[in-house]
Amino acid sequence: MFTPVILAGGSGSRLWPLSRQAFPKQFLELDGQAQGTMFQRTIARLDGLEHGDPLVVSNERHRFVVAEQLRLAKRQSSRIILEPLARNTAPAIALAALEATRDGGDPVLLILAADHHIPDEQAFQAAVASATIHANAGRLVTFGITPTHAETGFGYIQCGEPLGETGSAIAAFKEKPSTELAQEYLQSGRYLWNSGMFMFRASRFLDELERLRPDILEACRVALQHAQDDNYFLHVPAEQFALCDDESVDYAVMEHTDAGVVVPLDAGWNDLGSWAAILEVSERDADGNSLQGDVMSVDTRNSLVQSHHRLVTTVGVEGLVVIETKDAVLVAHKDQCQQVKKIVKRLQAEQREEFVAHPFVSRPWGHYDTVDKGERYQVKRITVLPGECLSLQLHYHRAEHWIVVSGTAKVVCGDKELILSENQSTYIPLGIKHSLANPGKVPLELIEVQSGAYLGEDDIVRFEDRYGRARS
């Protein structure tokens, strides 16, 4: 019996324009197999093993995405720990271990990234079973991926003396090598790729962290002492957590412990760290192409083309990545996909909306899709799920006009309460408190037309909100 810990706080910037700050790659279906998002498949991969409900560590801004994806997958979590800012894997795992031992328990923890591709689930589960033996013996286990080629983009683990039927002592961790050194590692047969997955008893990890990095452990303890618990989310405060060093668990613990062991994993693992990696794991046609969505290709080879909004056509190209979304298009050579991060940095520096979110945005009450936008107007299509409601709020810079497309809307505007059905509409003046709810049994869909001098999502003052949100 073990407790899975799902680390779901990554940004996935190299998979822009599909992966964005508000909706990163772990919450997407990336390989075209329609088997759930990467996050959902990480949890489903554990089916058949004896484990408790997963403990999820995620970014505060993604809390409702995590909750909704768990709901859609009909999964439960023991707790969702929310980091106010990214501090790497050592603090994230420390928070999880402290939370897991809070009530006197001491489970074995299986630490998994939420965005890994592992197609051979039987081999994965066999490796977990082997790692459980080592974890129960007091060892700190990391999983090493059996290399298939001389990869320069991964760190490596050098295997030492064998420990039991499976697993080896860790001789050394190696940084990302040159091409020549990676070839030497491959030929020696003594090196594995560093996967970033771990297994150990919670107390054993905390003991080693206290010995090796007591400052990280103390900062996490203090942050948890000040955390706000709303029975579903555990909100870690930014003021205390910001004092914690940004450190990976490899640097903080695994490279220095004498209790480390590496268990080999040969399961087709891929960290899906670039669009070239997506092409590698996707189903391809006779010309080596992976074509997804409304795509027409002529004389196109070894390319990844995805359409998410409109028709995309290619003629006479080879080795390209073309990713089309509603508001952005990426065209890159598949051998240069790592350079996408440079585009993302420019978008961030220029404060472009395309860095942050898609026009389609999930909310705890449903979602909205931006249909059109101009200098002083914006049009959205809003969907409110049955029984859900938007907060009681007002805007200082915009007025709104709502037209119901389908379903039933319960509207509060100032001191008035209205029930609107299909083809009916209402006007929300600037500066007036208002709210919108769906009292019906089917989704409510409406068109919202905003007008005003400023149309940003931060022009919201909330007075009542069932989801515990402040101004956003």
CATH topology of domain 359-464: Jelly Rolls (2.60.120)
Helix (H, G, I), strand (E, B) or coil at 345: helix
Model pLDDT, residue 64: 84
For the chain, the residue count is 472
Range list for CATH 3.90.550.10 in the chain: 2-265
Q: How far apart are CA 318 and CA 197, in angstroms?
A: 35
Beta pairing partners, 401: 427, 449
- Among the four given CATH numbers 3.90.550.10, 1.10.3720.10, 2.40.50.140, 3.40.190.10, the one describing domain 2-265: 3.90.550.10
- pLDDT per residue of the chain (472 residues) written in tens, 0 to 9: 899 999 998 888 999 999 999 899 999 988 666 678 999 999 999 999 999 999 999 999 898 889 888 988 888 888 899 999 999 999 999 999 999 999 899 999 999 999 999 999 999 999 999 999 999 999 999 999 999 999 888 999 999 999 988 899 999 999 999 999 999 999 999 999 999 999 999 999 999 999 999 999 999 999 999 999 887 799 999 999 999 999 999 999 999 999 999 999 999 999 898 999 999 999 999 999 999 999 999 999 999 999 999 999 999 999 999 999 999 999 999 999 989 999 999 999 999 989 998 888 888 899 999 999 898 999 999 999 999 999 999 999 999 999 999 999 999 999 999 999 999 999 999 999 999 999 999 999 999 999 999 998 888 999 988 877 664 4
Q: DSSP secondary structure string, 67-134?
A: HHHHHHTT---SEEEEESS---HHHHHHHHHHHHTTTS---EEEEEETT-B---HHHHHHHHHHHHHH
Question: For residue 5, what are the β-bridge partners?
Answer: 55, 111
* Tokens read off for 31: 């390989």
Determine the pLDDT at residue 90: 96
Q: What are phi and psi of 210, to 5 degrees?
A: -65, -35
User: Interhelix angle for 202-212 vs 214-225, to 10°?
Assistant: 120
According to DSSP, the residues that pair with 86 across neighbouring strands are: none
Nearest Cα to Cα of residue 83 among 244, 308, 206, 267: 244
User: What does the pLDDT read at residue 10?
Assistant: 83
pLDDT of residue 230: 81
Left (φ > 0), alpha (ψ -120 to 50) or beta: where does 140 sit? Answer: beta
Main-chain dihedrals φ then ψ at residue 108, nearest 5 degrees: -75, 130
What pLDDT does residue 407 have?
97
pLDDT of residue 31: 67
Residue ranges, comma separated, of all CATH 2.60.120.10 domains in the chain are: 359-464
Largest CA distance in the chain: 76
DSSP notation for 365-389: TEEEEEEEE-SSEEEEEEEE-TT-B
Write out the H or E segment, with its range, that includes residue 169: strand 168-174
In this prediction, residue 471 carries a pLDDT of 45
322, amino acid identity: V
Cα separation, 271 vs 269, whole angstroms: 7
Residue pair 448/459 in contact by the 8 Å Cβ criterion: no
